[in-house]
Amino acid sequence: MDAYIAAPPGAPVAPPGKPPLPVRPRSLPERHSVRAQVLAALRDALAGGQLAPGEVYSAPALAERYGVSATPVREAMQQLASEGAVETVPNRGFRIAGHTARDAAELAEVRAALEVPAIMRLARTVPPERWDELRPLAEATVTAATLGDRAAYAEADRCFHRALLRLTGNRQLVLIAEDLHRRSQSPATSRPLPGTAELLADALEHAALLDALRRRDLPAAQQLASEHFTGV
């Protein structure tokens, strides 16, 4: 079930009978443009399954749904197209791309190739107490998973992995890994959207990984990190 919160002053409001534009909780940085809010809303809709793979959506129709003009919707959709989440359909709009089982496996393999070695380097150098700083982010993924909120889980999951990789000090690694992460969160054409149990299992792996990293159990950390991406 989608959850919406009250929009801050100045935020776009949908017409009567139309779903409101999702607004991030106040604890997160505020969006400073309509385009950014629309982009966030579309990403939530993708993660939550409200925009179905293979379906074509026009910018005017989405603009009416979110109570904004078509321009920021087109701009947001172009951003999503650059990320591979949608495809431009001339004279019609944008088709939700989705990904196949092969796409998912390849993305998981590439993410593992980037993140697992980085995590293992951190495991050898980061003081144990630093891992406690990531606990609230790991707990946020569990909370979202328990609620079955796929959109909230997608963002919490990215926040956790982003914070972990930032410990490397490698900005390019963080940017590339996050792009791959977003792509991996696109809806799949080959399987149903993850349910609460699947989300929760994935979320609990974050805490288990932090436990292993804190006690500097390198074999356990490597196994947990690898399984988190590949599932094997």
Give the tens place of pLDDT for each residue, 168-192: 999 999 999 998 998 888 776 666 7
- Alpha carbon distance 57, 86 (integer Å): 10
Is pLDDT at 125 greater than 70 in this prediction? yes
Residues 86 and 143 in one domain: no
Average pLDDT, the chain: 84
50-93 pLDDT tens trace: 888 888 999 999 999 889 999 999 999 999 998 888 899 988 89
Residue 153 lies in a domain: yes
- Domain-ending residue, one of 96, 124, 141: 96
What phi, psi does 226 have (nearest 5°)?
Answer: -65, -45
- Domain-ending residue, one of 60, 79, 96: 96
pTM comes to 0.74
Q: How many domains does the chain have?
A: 2
Q: Which amino acid is at 21?
A: L
The token pair at 50 is: 């409200």
Residue 24 lies in a domain: no
Percent of the chain with pLDDT over 90: 53
Residues 115 and 225 in one domain: yes
Say if CB 221 and CB 209 are below 8 A apart: yes
**Domain of residue 109, residue span:** 101-230
Using DSSP's 3-state secondary structure scheme, residue 12 falls into coil
Among candidate residues 10, 15, 13, 14, the one with its CA nearest the CA of residue 32: 10
